[in-house]
Amino acid sequence: MEILNPPLIRQIANTVIYAKSKQQQREPLCENLKDMSLNINVPLLVAGDFNCILSLGDKKGREDAQDVRKYANVKFIDTGYIGSTFTWCRWRRRHEKRIWERLDRALINAEWSQKFNDTMVLISFGIALTRQMHN
């Protein structure tokens, strides 16, 4: 992860996520993210493997919106991405339909967006890297 910090920015915060695979085990993470989104007032970046989809467009192959509802009250902005739409795929048997999901992402708060408004995730070969884009 590369974060370029101009000298005028005094403080930033970042958190790396590797979430549990089971939905019930991710609930504390969701609560922590809600608290962080409401209580941290410096530029904040939260990036990593959330192990769940956060919008219906993050999944292809089977409909499932359980996690989308859980994260609805988190006040973060998804940075978007450059590259592959999905970061994970499951295909166990030939007769099964493949399931594609975007599990890796970067979320930012409003303060980060104001200071680094063109932050995006670069997804390459299934690995998500956070990169600050510059003009």
Using 50, 70 and 90 to split pLDDT, how confident is the model at 44?
very high
Q: Which of the following CATH numbers is that of domain 13-132: 3.40.309.10, 3.30.870.10, 3.60.10.10, 3.40.50.720?
A: 3.60.10.10
pLDDT digits (tens, 9 = 90+) for 56-83: 888 888 766 566 656 666 788 888 888 8
pTM listed for this prediction: 0.77
pLDDT digits (tens, 9 = 90+) for 98-112: 888 888 889 999 999
What confidence score (pLDDT) does residue 18 get? Answer: 93
Query: Does the pLDDT of residue 10 top 90, yes or no?
Result: no
CB count, 10 Å around CB of 122? Answer: 14
